[in-house]
Protein backbone atom coordinates (compact mmCIF):
# COMPACT_ATOMS: atom_id res chain seq x y z
CA UNK A 1 0.00 0.00 0.00
CA UNK A 2 1.21 3.48 -0.78
CA UNK A 3 1.26 6.30 1.71
CA UNK A 4 1.03 6.24 5.45
CA UNK A 5 -0.67 3.21 7.00
CA UNK A 6 -4.03 3.74 8.67
CA UNK A 7 -3.73 4.87 12.29
CA UNK A 8 -6.71 2.76 13.34
CA UNK A 9 -8.23 -0.47 12.16
CA UNK A 10 -11.54 -0.34 10.32
CA UNK A 11 -13.71 -2.71 8.31
CA UNK A 12 -12.60 -1.07 5.03
CA UNK A 13 -10.84 -3.89 3.22
CA UNK A 14 -9.61 -5.42 0.01
CA UNK A 15 -11.01 -8.83 -0.92
CA UNK A 16 -9.47 -11.58 -3.01
CA UNK A 17 -11.14 -14.73 -4.33
CA UNK A 18 -9.56 -18.05 -3.43
CA UNK A 19 -10.58 -21.61 -4.19
CA UNK A 20 -12.34 -23.60 -1.46
CA UNK A 21 -9.58 -26.21 -1.52
CA UNK A 22 -6.99 -23.47 -0.77
CA UNK A 23 -8.76 -22.13 2.35
CA UNK A 24 -6.92 -24.21 4.97
CA UNK A 25 -3.53 -23.57 3.34
CA UNK A 26 -4.05 -19.80 3.34
CA UNK A 27 -5.26 -19.90 6.94
CA UNK A 28 -2.13 -21.80 7.99
CA UNK A 29 0.15 -19.38 6.13
CA UNK A 30 -1.51 -16.37 7.77
CA UNK A 31 -1.24 -18.01 11.19
CA UNK A 32 2.43 -18.86 10.54
CA UNK A 33 3.09 -15.15 9.86
CA UNK A 34 1.38 -14.35 13.19
CA UNK A 35 -0.99 -11.87 11.58
CA UNK A 36 -4.15 -10.91 13.46
CA UNK A 37 -7.19 -12.75 12.15
CA UNK A 38 -10.65 -11.35 12.81
CA UNK A 39 -13.22 -13.86 14.05
CA UNK A 40 -15.28 -15.33 11.25
CA UNK A 41 -18.75 -13.81 11.02
CA UNK A 42 -21.90 -15.94 10.78
CA UNK A 43 -22.71 -16.98 7.23
CA UNK A 44 -25.62 -18.62 5.49
CA UNK A 45 -25.10 -21.94 3.73
CA UNK A 46 -23.72 -21.52 0.24
CA UNK A 47 -22.30 -18.05 0.83
CA UNK A 48 -18.69 -19.19 0.95
CA UNK A 49 -16.02 -18.81 3.59
CA UNK A 50 -13.81 -15.86 4.42
CA UNK A 51 -10.59 -15.16 6.26
CA UNK A 52 -10.26 -11.54 7.41
CA UNK A 53 -6.80 -10.51 8.58
CA UNK A 54 -4.73 -7.40 9.20
CA UNK A 55 -1.26 -6.90 7.79
CA UNK A 56 1.49 -5.22 9.78
CA UNK A 57 0.30 -1.78 8.57
CA UNK A 58 -3.31 -2.06 9.84
CA UNK A 59 -4.73 -2.88 6.38
CA UNK A 60 -7.61 -5.36 6.42
CA UNK A 61 -7.72 -8.10 3.78
CA UNK A 62 -10.33 -10.72 3.01
CA UNK A 63 -9.75 -14.04 1.29
CA UNK A 64 -13.11 -15.44 0.18
CA UNK A 65 -14.04 -18.70 -1.50
CA UNK A 66 -16.72 -17.17 -3.70
CA UNK A 67 -17.59 -14.07 -5.69
CA UNK A 68 -19.83 -11.12 -4.91
CA UNK A 69 -22.27 -12.28 -7.59
CA UNK A 70 -22.46 -15.73 -5.96
CA UNK A 71 -23.15 -14.13 -2.56
CA UNK A 72 -25.87 -11.85 -3.91
CA UNK A 73 -27.53 -14.74 -5.75
CA UNK A 74 -27.50 -16.79 -2.57
CA UNK A 75 -29.05 -13.94 -0.55
CA UNK A 76 -31.91 -13.67 -3.06
CA UNK A 77 -32.78 -17.36 -2.53
CA UNK A 78 -33.95 -16.82 1.06
Instruction: Check 40, 47, 62, 70 and give the catalytic one.
Output: 62
Whether 66 and 43 have beta carbons less than 8 Å apart is answered as no
- H-assigned helices in the chain: 23-32, 68-76
Whether 51 and 23 have beta carbons less than 8 Å apart is answered as yes
Active site residue 62: yes
Q: Catalytic residues, which ones? A: 62
Amino acid sequence: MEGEPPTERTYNHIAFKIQENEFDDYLKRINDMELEIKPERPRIAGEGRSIYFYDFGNHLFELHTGTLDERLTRYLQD
